[in-house]
């Protein structure tokens, strides 16, 4: 597998797992209600299947992230790991009808541009040189 294909597939998987985790947390929060430091709240949180989806998402994201860090330069890899912020923003609009402000759109564009700039700078100056 080529390095580019590995990065695209790997960061796509990381974004998918991270986004899944955040969506599961949102759905779990909708079922458990407002947080309170009680056994009843904790029991309710543990009884929703969405919390287990979030845990599974975190575990898959961790394994994916560790695999990526073996081969990817840390700077661009760390930046690319934040694409999940953009995907969750988009998914929250689609799935939950949440409002997206112009500042959120600008922030998402800045994240995407920063990742592109970092990856271009890394391709010009590969690690180890």
**What's the N-to-C CA distance of the chain in angstroms?**
23
What per-residue confidence (pLDDT) applies to 21?
95
Which burial class, exposed, middle or buried, applies to 5 when counting CB atoms under 10 A from its CB (0-12, 13-18, 19+)? Answer: exposed
Nearest CA to 18 out of 67, 58, 65 is that of 58
Q: Which two tokens stand for residue 85?
A: 């912020």
- φ, ψ at 53 (rounded to 5°): -65, -40
Q: Compute the half-sphere exposure of residue 15: CA atoms within 13 Å on the CB side of its CA.
A: 20
Domain that holds residue 73: 3-124
Residue 129 lies in a domain: no
- Confidence tier at 129 by pLDDT (50, 70, 90): very low
Residue 20 lies in a domain: yes
Q: What are the tens digits of pLDDT across the range 16-55?
A: 999 999 999 999 888 887 888 888 888 888 888 999 999 9
Q: What are the tens digits of pLDDT across the range 53-94?
A: 999 999 999 999 999 888 887 777 777 788 888 999 999 999
| Residues 61 and 14 sit within 8 Å (Cβ to Cβ) | yes
| Count of the separate structural domains present in the chain | 1
């Amino acid at each position: 597998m080529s390095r580019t294909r590995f990065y695209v597939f790997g960061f796509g998987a990381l974004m998918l797992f991270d986004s899944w985790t955040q969506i599961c947390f949102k759905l779990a929060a909708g079922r458990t209600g407002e947080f309170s430091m009680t056994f009843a709240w904790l029991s309710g949180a543990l009884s929703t299947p969405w919390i287990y989806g979030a845990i599974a998402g975190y575990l898959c994201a961790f394994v994916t992230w560790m695999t990526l860090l073996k081969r990817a330069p840390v700077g661009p890899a760390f930046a690319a790991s934040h694409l999940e912020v953009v995907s969750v923003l988009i998914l929250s609009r689609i799935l939950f009808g949440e409002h997206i402000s112009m500042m959120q759109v600008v922030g998402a564009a800045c994240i995407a541009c920063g990742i592109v700039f970092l990856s271009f700078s890394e391709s010009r100056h590969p690690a180890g040189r």
